[in-house]
Amino acid sequence: MSIYVVADTQDRLSSLRAILEPKHPVAGDLLGAASIRGNDVAAVVVSADLRDVDNIAALKAMSSTFSRIPKRIFVLNERTRLAVVQAYALGATHALLNPVKPAQLLAKLARGATPSIVPSEPPSSAREAASVGAASFVSMFSAVTCGWAVNVAEARDAGNVIAETIAEHGLSDWLTTVRRHHEGTYQHCLLVTGIAVDFGLSLGMAKPDIERLYAAAMFHDLGKARIPLAVLDKPGRLDPEERALIETHPAAGHAVLKGTPGISAEILDAVRHHHEFLDGSGYPDGLCAESISDIVRILTISDIFSALIEQRTYKTAMSRATAYEVLQGMKGKLERPLVEAFRDVALNR
């Protein structure tokens, strides 16, 4: 496998070549002088500070060349949503975090080219766990947009990181961290996953059930990758046509994931039906009580509560107490005993 290395400093270039040259034919240059020739390059490895606008401009200029290379691994200097989003926007298929371990980099080169983000060490705080979760959402949304396979194992790993963080640090710390450091669709997905996990923990669910719950939460809004950003992140109220488009996302997510190895029928059901209500007034299938599974009922409550307490530029986030009052007022739509059981999660945990 021929590999081309691009870096913004000589030290970074030399470090990557030292890792790769014992195993692969390697060529490379500093970013300003980089020029990939020939059609035999199977992977490119990029190490550059993505806070530098000149670096970003230079990488954008190479994007057409990158697009024909199957594996495009970016080595990032910081574990932030901005850095990860920037890497994928520049064409990354994988993102690793410095200090990159030789075995980690070589393993990525040996595997298929589905997008992934691998933490250099286990997260030790809510902020780090949120960054890992956000990176997984970026990876999945990018995969759907580009027509690649969704990295199911990575999403489950990120969900497990979030679950462990919630168990150790509690829900309040998670909510504060996510709302402070993340925004838009990724903020919502992170909040739903954390809230659903804490709800499951409060109900005394066994570990396998918690795992199914956070998997459903991680994948539940993947269909939004099919919604134009102008609609998805519109800074104001949606008109009827835009609302109808948004309401296609459960069926779109189900279609994207159907047949994907590692996605069970239970998870597919949760993805498609997390906007269904017990009285049949939900979408996309207008299901009624007996057709809605327990995991969907839990996920729906978590999803609604999350939407109410989110920080958005165009609306004031509700307090947790006010959001819980809204849930209590949705009589006939949500399972009453579950709403009552959610009280402690909403107000105290």
For 115-125, b where at least 16 C-beta lie within 10 A, e where not — what string?
bbbbbeeebee
In this structure, the answer to whether residues 106 and 172 fall within a common structural domain is no
Tell me the pLDDT of the chain (349 aa) as tens digits: 689 999 999 999 999 999 999 989 999 899 988 787 766 788 999 999 888 888 888 888 887 777 778 888 999 887 665 677 677 777 777 888 888 889 888 888 875 544 444 444 444 578 888 888 888 898 888 888 878 889 899 899 999 999 999 998 899 999 988 888 777 788 899 999 999 999 999 999 999 999 999 999 999 999 999 998 788 878 778 899 999 999 999 999 999 999 999 999 999 999 999 999 999 999 999 999 999 999 999 999 999 999 999 877 667 889 999 999 999 999 999 999 999 999 999 998 8
Q: Is residue 133 part of a domain?
A: yes
Tokens coding 62: 């190479």
Rounded Cα gap, residues 64 and 44, in angstroms? 13
Q: Is residue 75 domain-resident?
A: yes
Pairwise CA distance, residues 147 & 312, whole Å: 29
Total count of residues recorded for the chain: 349
- Answer whether 274's CB lies under 8 Å from 296's CB: yes
Q: Rounded CA gap, 330 and 335, in Å?
A: 9
Q: Is residue 118 part of a domain?
A: no
Q: Is 154 found in the same domain as 48?
A: no
Question: Are 218 and 311 within one domain?
Answer: yes
Q: Do 104 and 252 belong together in one domain?
A: no
CATH code for the domain in which residue 53 is found: 3.40.50.2300
Do residues 85 and 128 share a domain? no
Domain count, the chain: 2
Among all chains, which residue has been given the structure tokens 């835009």? 242
Question: Cα(6)–Cα(15) distance, rounded to whole angstroms?
Answer: 11
Is-contact 4 41, C-beta < 8 A?
A: yes
The verdict on residue 119 lying in a domain is no
Q: Where does a domain end: 80, 113, 146? A: 113
Q: What's the start-to-end Cα distance of the chain, in Å?
A: 51
- Write out the residue range of the structural domain in which residue 284 sits: 124-349
Task: Please indicate, yes or no, whether residues 194 and 291 belong to a single structural domain of this protein.
Answer: yes
pTM listed for this prediction: 0.69
214 and 319 in a single domain? The answer is yes
At position 194, the amino acid (one-letter code) is: G
| Boundary-marking domain end, from 113, 141, 157 | 113
Residue where a domain terminates, one of 71, 91, 113: 113
Amino acid type, 87: A
Together in a domain, 204 and 91: no
Q: What angle do CA 92, 98, 104 make, to 5 degrees?
A: 75
Q: Are residues 221 and 255 in the same domain?
A: yes
DSSP for 226-283 reads: GS-HHHHT-SSPPPHHHHHHHTTHHHHHHHHHTT-TT--HHHHHHHHHTT--TBS--S
